[in-house]
Structure 1
Amino acid sequence: MLLGSSSLAIASSRSRIFSAAAAAASRRHSLAPASCSSSSQALQCRDSRMVGSPVLPARRSFCSRRSSASADFAENGRESPDGGIHLILGPMFAGKTTVLLQRIQAEADAGRRVALVKSDKDTRYGLGCIVSHSGKKMHCAAVASLSDFKSHKPELYAQAEIIGIDEAQFFDDLLSFCQSAADWDGKTLIVAGLDGDFLRQRFGSALDLVPLADSVTKLSSRCEICGRAAAFTFRKTDDRRKEVIGGADIYMPVCRKHYVNGQFAMEAARSVVLESHSPQRDPCSSSPERKLAIG
């Protein structure tokens, strides 16, 4: 009898444990989403909640943050403006203006609206046109600064798709104008100018455009002395000012060898000139010491 009572107690205890476990399982099942009818589906639902929650508002990309200048393009169903900067650099007589005019003419022939700008400091061939050393000529706007071109000729600036800039080294606002025109107004700029002066030092801000440029063309000329490729401009006069506008009467293209030799020759010539202008002592006159020695 005692053994039978013990067996009944153990069986009753196991029954309560199984009932508690079943109740716990039932509660867990009731907490799962109704759509997850199986353990595998419940796992999928859990993973989907981890990936998709919380849902954050989509962040706009850099390209979608358009400026007000390019908003008109989007409103009219057109793409955002796609401008560019193309540099043509080199010494004098390298054909920079010729290449500039050829590119502008090609764009005009392709049906694109073009405009040409030059500094009003360059009066060699008149203010109303750009003339290359080879004789090619095109009409242009001559301005003191590029900001003047934009403000004084707003219609021409607004309509132009391609803007050519000649003698770029003379514009103090070259960098700011080109960056704004290309980045925000969708203009394609073709910029021609000197990269160095007669001392082989930077001239203007054309070199500051190199990091912003889509392309850079470095032209060379022919050395006027030996005929080899010439990368430098030699000034034939003794004028040391940075800006001296002139042509073949003042400048000539030279190679490295003849630039260095020419500078030596110019320094020697200056020394001779300075010595010739210094007070000359009479070779027949004697110093007081010499007179005493003679006497």
Structure 2
Amino acid sequence: MAATLKASILLKTLDSDIVGDVFSDQGRRGSGAVHVIMGPMFSGKSTSLLRRIKSEISVGRSVAMLKSSKDTRYAKDSVVTHDGIGFPCWALPDLMSFPDKFGLDAYNKLDVIGIDEAQFFGDLYEFCCKAADDDGKTVIVAGLDGDYLRRSFGAVLDVIPIADSVTKLTARCEVCGQKAFFTLRKTCDTRTELIGGADVYMPVCRKHYITNHIVMKASKKVLEVADKARAESCVAAII
């Protein structure tokens, strides 16, 4: 009951903040704005983005939603939250091509552009500058601020200096239930871009991020030693 009450209060606060931004941007229509929503995986970034988009639509603003064509986890042409809530979108390999693909006349009539999984777009900063500064659009960016090694991921952090607002969300640590600021990868795959869900990643607090990394490093070393021993054994058998 307490957890439900806290969630309800959080949603009301978030909706209030969203409404404030929506009316603020509407009041200076045509001047452009950039809003950034970031945080670890499972922190509700896509949910917050969809709420904001729906609030924009409710006050009569025209909206387009974009996401990276790399993300095909739930649907190819929709932004879908981990809870299964979806919204139609344009799946693109880059952002700067969007005006031409959407049609320049239609693009000029747009008020708001939402961008989900923004860390996958290399031209994010360039697009936000053009869309907000030159074209007068409100751009809402949602993405990871850090990768599984807690390094800057993509260009999301690059957009902060040109942002009107920045919201950092938190998840719940899957180990202890405290606030989770980081994303832990469960596999030994070392690629920076490894798209996956709960099967690959989990949100964790600082304590359990450090603890689990120590365990994973030790496990990796054991596996490497075992693999080397097996390889040497095979070579010896062949000889």
Under TM normalisation by the shorter chain, which class is it? Answer: 0.7 to 0.9
Match of 1:275 among 207, 225, 231: 225
Q: Deviations over 1:43-79 (max 9, x none)?
A: xxxxxxxxxxxxxxxxxxxxxxxxxxxxxxxxxxxx8
Partner of 1:127: 76
Equivalent residue letter for 2:222? V
Residue 255 in structure 1 maps to residue 205 in structure 2: yes
Q: Secondary structure at the match of 1:189?
A: strand
CA contact (8 A) 1:115 1:156 kept: no
* Map 1:18-37 → 2, pairs under 5 A: none
What pairs up with 1:182-261 in 2 under 5 angstroms? Answer: 182-261=132-211
Instruction: Please give the TM-score of this superposition, normalised by the length of structure 1.
Output: 0.67
Instruction: Give the superposition deviation at 1:109.
Output: 1.0
Residue in structure 1 matched with residue 124 of structure 2 by the alignment: 174
Within the candidate set 44, 52, 69, 1:103 is matched to 52
Q: CA deviation at 1:266?
A: 0.4
**Pairing 1:88–2:37 present:** yes
Alignment partner of 2:97: what SS? helix
Q: Match for 1:261: what amino acid?
A: T
What's the TM-score once normalised by structure 2's chain length?
0.82
Indicate the residue corresponding to 1:65 in structure 2.
none
Tell me the SS of whatever aligns to 1:202. coil
Aligned pair partner of 2:88 in 135, 139, 145: 139
Do structure 1's residue 113 and structure 2's residue 58 form an aligned pair?
no
Q: Between the two proteins, what is the percent identity of the paired residues?
A: 52
Relative CO higher for 1 or 2, CA cutoff 8 Å, sep ≥ 6?
Answer: 2
List gaps (5 residues or longer) in structure 1: 1-78, 283-295
User: Which amino acid is 2:160 matched to?
Assistant: V
Relative to 1, partners in 2 of residues 1:143 and 1:241: Cα closer, same or farther, differing over 3 Å?
A: same
Paired residue secondary structure (1:147): coil
- The CA distance in 2 between the partners of 1:212 and 1:279, in whole Å, is 53
User: Which residue matches 1:15?
Assistant: none
Larger radius of gyration: 1
Distance 1:84 1:147 in 2: 17
> CA, structure 1 residues 194+80, in 2 after alignment: closer, same or farther (shift >3 Å)?
closer
Provide the C-alpha distance between the structure 2 equivalents of 1:225 and 1:272, rounded to a whole number of angstroms.
Answer: 24
Counterpart CA distance in 1 for 2:98 and 2:40 is 26
Number of equivalenced pairs: 204
Aligned-pair CA distance for 1:80? 8.3
Question: By how many angstroms is 1:172 displaced?
Answer: 0.6
Secondary structure of 1:172's counterpart equals coil
Moved more, 168-177 or 272-281: 272-281
Give, as a single letter, the amino acid of the residue that structure 2 aligns with 1:214.
D
Partner SS state of residue 146, structure 1: coil
Deviations 1:128-150 (A, max 9, x none): 11100122110001111001212
The one-letter amino acid of 1:127's match is K
Partner of 2:214: 264
Post-superposition Cα deviations, 1:143-179, rounded to whole Å, max 9, x if no partner, equal 1100121221124422210100000000010001001
User: CA shift at 1:276, angstroms?
Assistant: 1.3
